[in-house]
């Protein structure tokens, strides 16, 4: 018997990172993670409301202003999906995660681009 909605796609076109960027919480890094005052190794959620909130003051203007482009995240990537010249290539990262998730089911996430990097827990100093 087929499971209900087994042919449905649950891929979202909503990005919590992009919503957080638009809200002024940080800028993107080379690995496409959002670097905030607390660093890149964070999680985001959002609430959609009609409530007016005063915008936060931003201390940046560019989408990569908090990233120092040091390449440490690229060095940490097991499949070399990140490069200082081209940023992050999502297909090799996704393929690695798909393969590794099957191998270590039910739980696996890589995140090596978010650990032992200058932006792990703060905005790095240039």
Residues of the chain above pLDDT 90, percent: 56
Token pair in block for residue 65 = 């202003």
What would the pLDDT profile of 59-110 be if each residue is shown by its tens digit? Answer: 999 999 999 999 999 999 999 999 999 999 988 998 888 888 777 776 677 8
Range of the domain at 28: 16-114
Q: How many domains does the chain have?
A: 1
Domain contains 3: no
CA gyration radius for the chain? 17
Token pair in block for residue 38 = 């607390």
Domain contains 123: no
């Amino acid at each position: 018997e087929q499971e209900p909605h087994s042919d449905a796609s649950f891929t979202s076109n909503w990005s919590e990172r992009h919503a957080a960027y638009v809200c002024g919480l940080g800028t993107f890094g080379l690995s496409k993670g959002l670097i905030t005052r607390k660093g890149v190794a964070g999680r985001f959620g959002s609430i959609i409301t009609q409530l007016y909130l005063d915008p936060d003051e931003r201390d940046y203007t560019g989408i990569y202003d908090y990233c120092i482009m040091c390449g440490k995240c690229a060095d940490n990537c097991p499949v070399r999906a990140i490069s200082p010249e081209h940023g992050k290539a999502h297909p090799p990262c996704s393929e690695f995660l798909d393969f590794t998730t099957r191998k270590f089911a039910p739980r696996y996430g890589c995140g090596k681009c978010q650990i032992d990097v200058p932006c792990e827990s703060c905005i790095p100093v240039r």
